[in-house]
Structure 1
Amino acid sequence: MVLAAAGGALLWLAFPSWNLWPLAVVGPALLSLACHGRSLIRASALGGVFGLTFMLPLLSWSGIFVGSWPWIALSVSQAVFYAVLAAGLAAVGSLRAAPLWSAALWVAMEAGRSRWPFGGLPWGRLGFSQADSPLAQLAAFGGVPLTSFAVAVTGSLLASVILQRRRPRCVPDVSVWPRGGRSAVLATLPWLVSTPLWAVAVLHDPASGVRPQASSVGVAVIQGNVPRAGLDFNAQRRAVLDNHVRATVDLAAEVAAGRQPAPQLVIWPENSSDIDPLVNPDARAEIDRAAQAIGVPILIGAVLEGPGIFLTNAGIVWDPATGAGQQYAKRHPVPFGEYMPARSFFRFFSDQVDLLRRDFTAGQDPGVLDVGGVTVGDVICFEVAYDGLVADVVRGGAELIVVQTNNATFGYTDESPQQLAMGRLRAIEFDRTVVVSATSGLSAVIDADGSVRARSDLFTSWTFNDTVALGGGTTLATRVGAVPEYVLSALGVGAVAWSLVIRRRPAAAPPPPPPLTSSVKAAGTVPQEMTDL
């Protein structure tokens, strides 16, 4: 129990804002040690403890303004996945190459957690803790799943070595250092897999990737800030929009005076227009004023009325001459944040569900937009955590990835730096500059190697205006898509199935004792009556 609890807590410290990324290896190692030799039920209980000590602090931002009940419920629901994982770890622990199957199970668990329930929550995947680690470079070859696998297999091997060292020397064992044959191949397989992964991660030079000589474009990122943190960040009508208009007009004055270069496009964050500009003339006029002042298109974020009784979280290309143009409707609204599933059921547990008065609807098309002649791949807020949503915009031709986000509802918590780390992995994975544009921070410009070129503070007004590189190449991760995740998940689940088959086999009968030899008889050690019998 202590090992499981410590493993979850140490894994949390690997994530922002602590950023102690080597501890991500320790988490899987301690969970494997805790589950070794346990029954499936007992291991699942230990996995639940691990999941709670990890998820409760990691997701503490989710209850900062809505109370402890939603935060605890969310953390418990995620801990269930770790309980299932731990049962799987106990099942495969007796197999040859157990560290390999254990690491594959981590990928399978994260794949399931990223999809279920209600579209999943990828927050806390092992790979997202590695933005400052050499292992982050593996994202260019197999995406976040390969990075998570490398972390998990390293931790599982560490646990395997510890277990081997603890065995009495008189007990023969071939799980880590066998004498030869097929057992040797199977037992050394995790080492043969993990060593090349670390070598590739350490030696990979992002500057020598598949991207051709990159062109560049002038981009301005506006963080206008909000009147206050919390759920009512936009309670003061039009204050958020006015802040972004003011910052853009100020930048336009600097450009006109020759103190700033002229950008080719401007990026505003999610919810930067707190009034629907398509139906409100005053909001439309203000955005027109900002676009005409800067003289280039602005990608704004707005909450739109409709369709029907629903709302739409949208990114809109706003041209200085023609006004509103192309739109992207958020494809993955956040359950319990942007829509309330099973509202009447969850009302039994908390009346907080009625704080969300109207549900957002999901868009259907990837956010590939033409903004000032640049093909921008737009994802909104939590969508940066979902592999497929980001991959879709890159495959659609995006030269620049933009993450429009509004983190005002999470205050001064770790949510913003955790989300920023995801953007850094995406930059490496797709060899693209990633622009994170937030209403209140953290806004940032991330180069294609995952390094943060510029970053704002929380709850301040901030403007970035400079050239950024445009991507045109295709990484291996882009080409193979979700194949590594599917293959590794299948290996893990298959190993569990095989271990259960082995458990069901009847135990072999012990061999009969050897017959008494004539030398034994001659030695007189056996009574004559026994030998006659």
Structure 2
Amino acid sequence: MSSGPETTTAGRDSVVRPAFARPDGADSRATADRVPSRRAARLAVAAGTHWPTTVLAALAGLALAAAFPPYAIAPLSVLAVAALSLLTRGRSARYGAWLGFALGLPFFVVLLKWLHVIGWDAVIGLSVLQALFFVPLGAGLAATSRLPLWPLWGACLWVAQEWARDRIPFGGFPWGRLAFANTSTAYTPLAALAGAPLVTFAVALTGTLLAAATLALHRLYRTERSRRSLAAARPAAAAAVLAAAITLAGYAVPVPTAADDTVAVAVVQGNVQQPGMDFLGRPMLILNNHVEATLELADDVREGRAEQPDVVLWPENASDLDPYRHREARAAIDRAARAIGAPILVGALVDHPTEEGYVENQGIVWDPESGPGESYTKQHPVPFGEYVPFREQLSKVITRLERVPRDFYPGDAPGVLDVGPARLGDVICFEVAYDGIVRDTVRSGARALVIQTNNATYGHTGQPEQQLAMSELRAVEHGRAVVTVATSGISAVVAPDGTVVQRTEEFTQDVLTARLPLRDGRTLAATVGAVPEWALAIAGLLAFGTAHRITRRGSSRSLPGRKEGNAVKEPPRA
């Protein structure tokens, strides 16, 4: 038997290991060099042996999707948060990141499946992009789970994740926020204090506290019966009571709803000839639908079957031709406005006056006597839907982008318009999902909000229900009545307390009439703006950074061969 060095091979690397450790520390350095390969091996084993945890994370993602409309099982949002907290508890940040992605991908695939009318590749592509934001969320939950008050930091990290998705890339895509799954729950009134971020925080904190209560109960269950006591049960009870208190806290928040004035509105849903990508059909068809419905309303007013409206609201794309350039479109709108005897807020696509090749998505106030007046241009066009980033490069690869022949030019001011006797805030379609756009509109003097939208592309897919839920939250957040007016549905009138007073069915021609409350006061949410969101997000990120430093410090201390001053700490001898 040889007494020389013993050689072992692991993969491509050969490591010479002496039979006995040498006191000069050379063996320590060799052992330290092998640490990365050992970690990689452990991760590979973890990926193979912990697949049930991945499956559980994916199921939690499906449950989270079911919390949103059209399913609207809101309590599942709390349970999904609790599940991810439990699954990442005590894990490495890297494995927590994987679990975050495992939850996020199925969540977004189900939530955004309405995009399948464009193509399932669009569903998968956007879902993967959005799920990537759950990677740092999962890593952060795993890292902060070792800190005191870890349920608090976990809730802050959920806010941070939504903060990022609300802004990047291309201006962000905030679909799927926890707040939007809780627009008719006990958490909803919290929006009047600090907006959608506070609702998300409360939902997430309830979930993380439920996770803490579950862990405490599990520890109690594993404790010997002789050692169980009321004192041992206190952590579980405290977490459960605090979770219940946060859930019920919204009932103590006053939502301002008293009207300073009212206005009679008529909401016209003209409908489209066909759903899907080609809803426009032949020119003038959609415009004529809205003109026809308005003329019928005028007949009802003359016959005493309906109240004379002060304001008539038409949806986004109600005019499928630029009424400034096409005389037939202008004449049709003039005819409707004069027949009803009230100004109409008309949604239309308008050629940009100076930038050739661009179009603007506008809401135009159309007076029965003087014609077109004030207008609002949509500030946040949808990337790849209303404009194509890197068009020259991407169009060579994705031929479907040719279906967006012209880019929409963004507006640069909030949509506050004087429509007859009412000062209304115009928000167009997906803009209702963005806190800042709605908040700036209210701060600029809007006494009620109008969401002009065109959901014809996504009819009967669940997308209109998801967008209406956002209108419900905005009503509570700003104490304003909200009218959603859609070409093909769902059109609705939402009271300042978030109650849907009236709504239409999809793909029907319909008219809603209502007396809309107008308000001048601001909620606390409108006053403080994004400050609470930034504070919560920064708190979560600082906790993540602190946990990461603690973990690295602990890892460096456990590494063989770590230097202490000028000395080298030897590994344990065999």
**TM-score, normalising length: structure 2:** 0.83
Corresponding position of 1:523:
none
1:342-373, Cα deviation, whole Å (9 max, x unpaired): 22443465321121111101000100000002
Query: Which residue identity does 1:400 align to in structure 2?
Result: A
Residue 117 of structure 1 corresponds to which residue in structure 2? 169
Contact 1:21–1:129 (Cα < 8 Å) also in 2:
yes
In the alignment, structure 1 residue 387 sits paired with structure 2 residue 412: no
Q: Which residue of 2 aligns with 1:152?
A: 204
Question: 1:179, 1:349 → 2: CA distance?
Answer: 65
Q: State the Cα distance separating 1:259 from its structure 2 match.
A: 1.3
Matches of 2:417 and 2:259 in 1, distance apart? 23
Question: Match for residue 256 of structure 1?
Answer: 302
Post-superposition Cα deviations, 1:265-311, rounded to whole Å, max 9, x if no partner, equal 00000000000001100100000000000011000000001232101
Does the 8 Å CA contact 1:272/1:301 hold for their aligned counterparts? yes
Secondary structure in structure 2 of the residue aligned to 1:20: coil
Give the deviation of 1:509 after TM superposition: 8.8
Q: 5+ unaligned residues in a row in structure 1: which ranges?
A: 181-185, 511-533
- Partners of 1:166 and 1:193 lie apart in 2 by 18
- Residue 384 and residue 316 in structure 1: after superposition, are their counterparts in 2 closer, same or farther (change >3 A)? same
Residues 388-411 of structure 1: CA distance to partner in whole angstroms, max 9, x if unpaired?
A: 000011001111100000000112
Structure 1 residues 94-173: aligned runs within 5 Å: 94-167=146-219
Q: Counterpart in 2 of 1:431?
A: 479
Give the aligned partner of residue 294 of structure 1.
Answer: 340
Bigger drift between 128-137 and 191-200 goes to 191-200
Given the alignment, which residue of 408, 413, 426 partners 1:365? 413
- Cα gap change, 1:509/1:58 in structure 2, threshold over 3 Å: closer, same or farther? closer
- Give the CA deviation at 1:164: 2.3
1: distance between equivalents of 2:201 and 2:388?
Answer: 33
CA distance in 2, matches of 1:509, 1:121: 42
For 2:320 and 2:239, the matched residues in 1 are separated by 52
Preserved contact between residue 435 and residue 446 of structure 1 (Cα < 8 Å): yes
Secondary structure at the residue paired with 2:298? helix
Report what 1:238 is aligned to: 284
Q: Relative to structure 2, which stretch is displaced further, 464-473 or 221-230?
A: 464-473
Give the aligned partner of residue 50 of structure 1: 103
| 1:111 Cα deviation from its structure 2 partner | 0.6
**SS of residue paired to 2:104:** helix
1:247 maps to which of 293, 299, 311: 293
Contact kept? 1:211, 1:473, Cα under 8 Å:
no
Distance in 1 of aligned mates of 2:396 and 2:94: 30
Question: Which whole-Å deviations, capped at 9, do the CAs of 1:193-219 have from their partners, x for residues lacking one?
Answer: 75554333123453xxx4554321100
Bigger CA drift: 350-359 or 279-288? 350-359
**Alpha-carbon shift at residue 505 of structure 1 (Å):** 2.3
Note the C-alpha offset of 1:149: 0.5
Correspondence for 2:468: 420
Distance 1:189 1:288 in 2: 65
Letter in 2 for 1:366: P
What's the CA shift for 1:225? 0.1
Q: What is the 5 A alignment of 1:64-463?
A: 64=117, 66-167=118-219, 197-206=246-255, 210=256, 212-306=258-352, 307-347=355-395, 349-463=397-511
User: How much has 1:435 moved relative to structure 2?
Assistant: 0.2
Q: Helix, strand or coil for the counterpart of 2:217?
A: helix
- Secondary structure of the residue aligned to 2:132 is helix
| 1:271–1:302 Cα contact (<8 Å) kept | yes
Work out the CA distance in 2 between the residues paired with 1:6 and 1:348: 38
Asked if structure 2 preserves the Cα contact closer than 8 Å seen for 1:91 and 1:500, the reply is: yes
* CA drift at 1:160: 1.4
2: CA distance, partners of 1:508 / 1:41: 17
SS of 2:160's equivalent?
helix
Residues 178 and 346 of structure 1: CA distance in aligned 2, closer, same or farther (over 3 Å):
farther
SS at match of 1:62: helix
1:257 shift after superposition: 1.3
Q: Distance in 1 between matches of 2:188 and 2:336?
A: 39
| Contact 2:113-2:123 within 8 A present in 1 as well | yes
1:128 is paired with a residue of what secondary structure?
A: helix
Task: Give the letter for the 1:219 counterpart.
Answer: V
- Matched residue of 2:188: which SS? helix
Is structure 2 residue 527 aligned with structure 1 residue 479?
A: yes
Provide the identity percentage.
46
User: Structure 1: which amino acid aligns with 2:297?
Assistant: L
Distance in 2 between the 1:456 and 1:179 partners? 56
Tell me if the contact between 1:138 and 1:197 (Cα under 8 Å) persists in the aligned partners. Answer: no
Q: 1:506 to 1:155 in 2, by over 3 A?
A: closer
CA deviation vs aligned residue, 1:463-521 (integer Å, no higher than 9, x gap): 011211112221111111111101100110010011112112247999xxxxxxxxxxx
Residues in 2 aligned to 1:130 and 1:349: alpha-carbon distance in whole angstroms = 40
Contact 1:3 1:33 in 2 (8 A): no
Compute the RMSD of aligned alpha carbons.
2.4
Q: 1:508 to 1:233 in 2, by over 3 A?
A: closer
SS in 1 for 2:406: coil
- Pair 1:431–1:341, CA change in 2 (3 A): same
Q: Is the 8 A contact 1:212 1:472 kept in 2?
A: no
TM-score (norm 1): 0.89
Whether contact under 8 Å (1:303, 1:314) holds in the other structure is yes
Change (3 A) 1:488 1:142: same
- Residue identity opposite 1:200 in structure 2: A
1:5–1:423 distance in 2 versus 1, CA, 3 Å: same
- Across the two proteins, how many residue pairs are aligned to each other? 498
Aligned match of 2:59: 6
Q: Deviations over 1:418-450 (max 9, x none)?
A: 000000000000001000000000000000110
Aligned partner (choices 545, 552, 569) of residue 504 of structure 1:
552
Change (3 A) 1:216 1:229: same
SS at match of 1:3: helix
Q: Secondary structure at the match of 1:453?
A: strand
- Within 2, Cα distance between the matches of 1:355 and 1:343? 12
Q: Secondary structure at the match of 1:121?
A: coil
**Take 1:378 and 1:272, find their aligned partners in 2: how far apart are those partners?**
15
